[in-house]
Amino acid sequence: MHAHTLPQELIRAKRDGRALDAESIRALVAGIKDGSLGDAQVGALAMAVFLNGMNAGETVALTEAIRDSGEVLDWSALDLPGPVLDKHSTGGVGDLVSLLLGPWIAACGGCVPMVSGRGLGHTGGTLDKLEAIPGYDIAPDRARFRELIREAGVAIIGQTADLAPADRRLYGVRDVTATVESLPLIVSSILGKKLACGLDALVMDVKVGSGAFMPTPEKSRELAETIVEVASKAGTPTTALLTDMSQPLAPCAGNAIEVREALALLTGERRDGRLLEVTRALAAELLVAGRLADSVEEARHRLDTALASGGAAERFARMVAGLGGPSDLLERRDRYLATAPVTRAVFAARPGRVQDMDTRALGLAVVELGGGRRQPGDAIDHSVGLTGIAAIGDPVDAERPLAMVHARSEDDAEHAARRLLAAIAVGEGHASPPTLIQDVIRREAP
């Protein structure tokens, strides 16, 4: 089949389970971008792909066509001090890895132009968290963005209209045609946007467990393996980690709340926890992939030094100030980060240990408090959320709560408390959490 073939003939070929060549896929993506493919045709194509799948070659071609549908960032003229690196996560609760990883990698000599998203469903969005910082501009002009990458080594901003525009239309159609959960469509959507940022290497955090995007561990692994293969074939060396999301990654969830947590870790006030462990593992893979370290051991050593010296915190401060936020956020965070009027401890009905939890339900509790969106246009209350969330295996009783709820009213707090009691199972037995980092999937770039 050739690109000058009518789009409906290409859709028919996919409907009948045939593989499309790269030229045909490029023609279809061009039609998605410029509107010459009608919504009905885009929907039919998405359904044909959903039902028949795509082979690796087709998925690579689709990814590259989406990547190339708009501007692909080119950093060569800037003479950057280090490789261009980024990470992507399939999303989770209490997952503020990006806020730590960007400045941490920058402090180790990498450059991180992170184009991030808003919260979706039960998962919090990095942009919503950063907007809890007064003045932080998620949409700087291109010159400012480039300058910050050179000066601070990191800038976390929102998706611009000229990055992977074909994805925006395809994603919108998938959303309303029950074709979201298709591996080739998921992979090409994630990678099309990320690879348009002109990366030298990428690390993927693919979640497994009750708060994960994919419904089963097998599906999560398949997603991770496909991303590594497709990105590497598209020319960007990529590693994926399979990490546990059977409980929130940090002991907290919310927007201003998670920024506070990031600052506590960057400044060394808090020195341990699952969040730090996952971030350190992802960052170490990136440093090795970007040739900033020869081994994972050396990478970890560099990371530990950059954190202890205050270098990572300093990069975060530079990014915030450079994007219009306060220059003294690190020193005076309580002046800038909102706090909720109502704080309430939630206690288990009987003493015991936390056996397991419905992480998705905890994320939805934060959305219901006003800390997330049901509809794309919804306003967010940055102050609300959960802190001190007990971990699987922790003892809880009349003194030790399941979590603290931060709400805008007593009524909201009561609702959230009921959600929490339903979402966290407490029992007599010993319980140990699943392994945090379940596997690392690497593939050498061809």
Q: Which of 88, 260, 406, 419 is catalytic?
A: 88
Name the one residue in this structure whose structure tokens are 């546990």.
Answer: 244
Write out the two tokens for 427.
């029992």
Can 174 be counted among the known catalytic residues? yes
Write out the two tokens for 219.
């599906």
Q: Answer whether 104's CB lies under 8 Å from 306's CB.
A: yes
Can 339 be counted among the known catalytic residues? no
Can 430 be counted among the known catalytic residues? no
Can 207 be counted among the known catalytic residues? no
Beta-bridge partners for 254: 385
Can 205 be counted among the known catalytic residues? no
Write out the two tokens for 20.
């499309």
Can 246 be counted among the known catalytic residues? no
Q: Which of 126, 220, 279, 359 is catalytic?
A: 126
Single-letter amino acid, residue 126: T
Can 381 be counted among the known catalytic residues? no
- Please tell me the distance from the alpha carbon of residue 163 to that of residue 251, in angstroms, as a whole number: 34
Q: Which of 174, 274, 382, 406 is catalytic?
A: 174
Q: Which of 24, 63, 69, 89 is catalytic?
A: 89
Can 86 be counted among the known catalytic residues? yes
Q: Which of 14, 33, 67, 87 is catalytic?
A: 87
Q: Which of 194, 280, 353, 406 is catalytic?
A: 194
Can 304 be counted among the known catalytic residues? no
- Please tell me the distance from the alpha carbon of residue 415 to that of residue 12, in angstroms, as a whole number: 50
Q: Say how many CA atoms lie within 13 Å of 314 toward its Cβ.
A: 10
Name the one residue in this structure whose structure tokens are 């503020």.
Answer: 96
Q: Which of 86, 95, 167, 356 is catalytic?
A: 86
What is the set of active-site residues? Answer: 86-89, 126, 174, 189, 193-194
